[in-house]
Structure 1
């Protein structure tokens, strides 16, 4: 004689809940990489020559973008050596994500100012500005104005994987 024990559906559900919770918790722990700015720059240097630009300091950051370093954890700025070029790379790591909108506004203002300067003066530099890439990745703001905009964008994205 075969004895069959029936377990009510409610008990099955209660037994499965902890396992399902563990699975969903595991998925929540998957995060994007949080690279240091020198890592990002190293990835960029593998695909693009930064020698036509000079590394900027906090004075240059304040002068070009009207951005103070007090709200930043770290930053990297590569600006053109001459004012007849538009190529720039700016990476900001903010302390507080609430500041991102104000920083984006300052960066966009710089892009607009540069665009109006180069529009009639240097069409090739104007094109670089028009094809710029500005993106936010978590606590990072990344501006890329370069002839290698696609390569640099790909390199930056790879550094976050």
Structure 2
């Protein structure tokens, strides 16, 4: 190159270009920012419980003053994760239907239950539990309760 002015312009342009290019590269490696990450907790849905059909009972029928009988219950878990049953307690007055007559005074009593560890209910599923010795029938039961199917309101508590 014979033109010194052109030579200076090329040198200055090369130096400026290298400096700017290096600055951009460094800025890309050292860039940072700040913000906020978001997450939301789900809400646990309450389990529900339903009685089995009368045809599911094959033994352990109740009679006044007799031994405690079994109760069968289906625990439904509407949650997207499995749960374990931690307690089942009575929460209302038992009713009877389908007996030989009027069954106003059922005489049915709930015996406190502590389900065995491991009664798990799958996510979005259900489990049938047989609670041995969970109910009794007193001599106060109406004669019309013979052959009746009893509905015993319960509260089921679960944990994840």
TM-score by length of 2: 0.24
Q: Which has the higher helix share?
A: 1
Question: Which has the higher relative contact order, 1 or 2, with Cα contacts under 8 A spaced 6 or more apart?
Answer: 2
TM-score by length of 1: 0.24
Q: Which has the higher strand share?
A: 2
Bigger radius of gyration among the two? 2
